[in-house]
Amino acid sequence: MSQAEPKLFGADLIADYVKRLPSKPGVYRMMDEAENLLYVGKAKDLKKRVSAYTKYDRHSIRIQRMIRATLSMEFVVTGSETEALLLEASLIKKLKPRYNILLRDDKSFPYILVRKDHPAPQIKKHRGSKKIKGDYYGPFASARAVNQTLDTLQRVFRLRNCSDSIYASRTRPCMLHQIKRCAAPCTGEIKMEDYGELIQDAEDFLKGKSDNLRTRLKEQMQTASIDQNYEKAAEYRDRLQALAHISGGSGSASSRTFSNGDVISIYSGGGQSCVQVFFFRGGQNWGNNAYFPRHTKDDHPEQILDTFLAQFYLNKPIPKEIVVNQILPNHALLETALSERSGRKISITYPRRGEKVSLVKMAYKNAEESLARKLAETASQTRLLKQMAESFELDGPPERIEVYDNSHIQGTNAVGAFIVAGPEGLEKKEYRTFNIKDAETEPGDDYAMMREVMRRRFTRLLKDETLIWPDLVVIDGGKGQLSAVSNTLAEIGALERVPLLAIAKGPDRNAGREVFHMPGKPEFMLPPRTPVLYYLQRLRDEAHRFAIGTHRARRKKQMKTNPLDAIPGVGPGRKKALLAHFGSAKAIKSATQKELEQVEGVSRKMAETIYEFFNE
């Protein structure tokens, strides 16, 4: 009786498969002994690509673990590398292999539908297959983004959103007509040809053709005002204001040169990544979504984004241009694959200048903030505080952390503030503010302001034994701020009772490269991508947000006249032009600098002055 041959596994098994593989493009799958899928990969040359796994020692520990676990493989030969890329993405999304980068959030996107199967077209939100006759506009990032746009379109164009059965049963106008949200074609309050013009205006706007519409509304508003038809003039004013809101006047990003496409940026940190996708259609921002693909710490951002794009557009409409913040390893292949799938040329660009760079940076910043929030929310607070104690050599995990910051504009309305965090997270009821009122403090002297805050805070702690002392005081600043705080606490006899930590921004104000200062110790940095570093960044940002909010509230309280009157260089003419363009002072306050530059008579420098007046 012959002895059974030992069963091959790992690198030996892979080497045995390589002997019979063709040098053709295709997809391979690696399974463990329980037939669980470990990995799906594509190859331009299957024989060459798979043979790389036989060189066991050249791979990372993670890949070595995967190779050791491989007990079987399957192969599919494709007609081209492009087909292999699309098949790989499809299998990854469907089968979710353990060792692949995986897009986990894959919900469908909503659209705006203008139905054309009724004499009075209806405007509504739509999700799913496009079987209804009409025009579809989108995708929008979320139902909320669609609802906001629909609400604004109703205010501007007064289009119906009721069902056909309700439309047919109406004998008098509904409440939406009374509040000027619907033109009421159901009861003949508007002629069908006039309602058709409203539909056309709405579609032109959704296509990005809003400049002519805005100009026409301005002329109609001025004409109505001259004719003393103030009710009609107010109606046109409201429509202009709504147009400014949906175009970005509410603070959302819009684009003058980038018409139709997706802006996608990835940010990696703390062993995780966030991909932000912004949807631009007709020069308008139709919302954004954050995605957190599953991957390992060994994966680089460009690899993650490359795989993300292949999976993301498998079941979604592909825009003609995709703008990214990484040079993709499979750039040309991905372009070809997406072009074949959509039936038209698709370009993936990595911008180096112009407005697209600003859009990519905006998406990158959003990705960074989203990841910071996710890490802060999901990390174990107890573990974080324990790691903080180890990182900064504290006596134990801090129960109460106080983070201090100042805010002012050239010394005016100066305030100091601190936030509190502990085992339960942010303790907002414990937040406190200080109005800077020392007459000897020079306007804009941050050191003097911080000394005053510390003197008042810790003098009270020394006097009132019922108050809880912080286990760690964090200061937003560098060596100078730490010295000012240390000297102040030493003067009042409180220095030895509380550990101090100052966070200075890194080179070029680069988040992730902060320099830390503690009394009696040399400056140091924390390793990048650590939860403790992200946690401290979040606390610092929260303190900054709270201080700025308090400062703005004080400044707003002082404004008793029209806010435009307080802006240097804005006289009656410019004020009139701004109000005509945006419809209200509130919309002007929310506008971006680029939107302000579009107003007649407002130069780039003046737009910057106006924007900085309302924003830090």
Q: CB-based contacts of 178: which residues, under 8 Å, 6+ apart?
A: none
Q: Are residues 517 and 372 in the same domain?
A: no
The alpha carbon of residue 288 and the mean position of all alpha carbons in its chain are separated, in whole angstroms, by 7
Six token digits for residue 503 = 């966070």
Assess if residue 216 is contained within a domain: no
Range(s) of the domain holding residue 169: 111-209
Whether 294 and 315 map to the same domain: the answer is yes
* Residue 474, SS3 per DSSP: strand
Give a yes or no: residue 150 inside a domain: yes
What pLDDT is stored for residue 2 in this prediction?
Answer: 42
Statement: residue 410 has pLDDT above 70 = no
- Tell me the average pLDDT across 276-284: 85
409 and 529 within one domain: yes
CATH of the domain at 16: 3.40.1440.10
In this structure, the answer to whether residues 399 and 547 fall within a common structural domain is yes
Per DSSP, helices labelled H in 227-354 are 230-244, 301-312, 331-342
Q: Which of 533, 557, 581 is the last residue of a domain?
A: 557
- Helices 531-558 and 381-391, axial angle in degrees (round to 10): 100
Q: Is the pLDDT of residue 616 over 70?
A: no
Whole-number pLDDT of residue 262: 92
Q: Select from 362, 378, 394 the last residue of a domain.
A: 378
Q: How far apart are CA 56 and CA 514, in angstroms?
A: 38
Per the domain annotation, does 578 fall within a domain?
no
Same domain, 123 and 89: no
Q: What pLDDT score does 245 carry? A: 63
Q: Same structural domain for residues 428 and 522?
A: yes
The answer to whether 13 and 44 are in contact (CB under 8 A) is no
605 located within any domain: no
CA dihedral (602, 608, 609, 614) positive or negative? positive
pLDDT of the residue at 508:
56
Tell me: do 71 and 129 sit in the same domain: no
- Do residues 75 and 20 make contact, with C-beta atoms less than 8 angstroms apart? no
User: What is residue 249's predicted lDDT score, i.e. its pLDDT?
Assistant: 42
Taking alpha carbons only, the member of 598, 553, 616 closest to residue 248 is 598
**Angle (deg, nearest 10), helices 143-157 and 230-244:** 160
Q: How many folded domains does the chain comprise? A: 4
Query: CATH number of the domain that 347 lies in?
Result: 3.30.420.10
- How high is the pLDDT of residue 250? 39
In 3D space, the residue among 254, 246, 156, 244 whose CA is nearest the CA of residue 585 turns out to be 244
pLDDT of 3 reads 45
Please indicate, yes or no, if residue 339 is contained in any of the structural domains. yes
Mean pLDDT, the chain, whole residue set: 85
179, 162: one domain: yes
Same domain as 390, residue 276: no
Q: What is the full DSSP assignment across 274-292?
A: EEEEEEEETTEEEEEEEE-
Q: What residues form DSSP beta bridges with 136?
A: 113
Element spanning 18, H or E: helix 10-18
Residue 4 pLDDT class (50, 70, 90 cuts): very low
pTM of the model: 0.56
Nearest-angstrom CA–CA distance, 335 and 155: 40
Q: Determine the pLDDT at residue 562.
A: 65
Sheet architecture: strand order including 321-324 = 284-291, 272-281, 261-269, 321-324, 347-349
- Look at residues 95, 123, 155 and tell me which one is the last residue of a structural domain: 95
Q: Which two tokens stand for residue 430?
A: 């414990």
Confidence band for 378, pLDDT divided at 50, 70 and 90: low
Asked whether residue 367 falls in the same domain as residue 402, the answer is no
Mean pLDDT to the nearest integer, 495-503: 91
**608 part of a folded domain:** no
Instruction: For residue 481, tell me if it sits in a domain.
Output: yes
Backbone angles phi and psi of 430, in degrees to 5: -95, -5
DSSP state of 529: T
Asked if 58 and 168 sit in the same domain, the reply is: no
Q: How far apart are CA 603 and CA 616, in angstroms?
A: 20
Q: Cβ neighbours of residue 465 under 8 Å, at least 6 residues apart?
A: none
In the chain, the percentage of residues whose pLDDT exceeds 70 is 91
388 and 517 fall within a common domain: yes
pLDDT of the residue at 600: 86
82 lies in a domain?
yes
Contact 394, 388 (CB under 8 A): yes
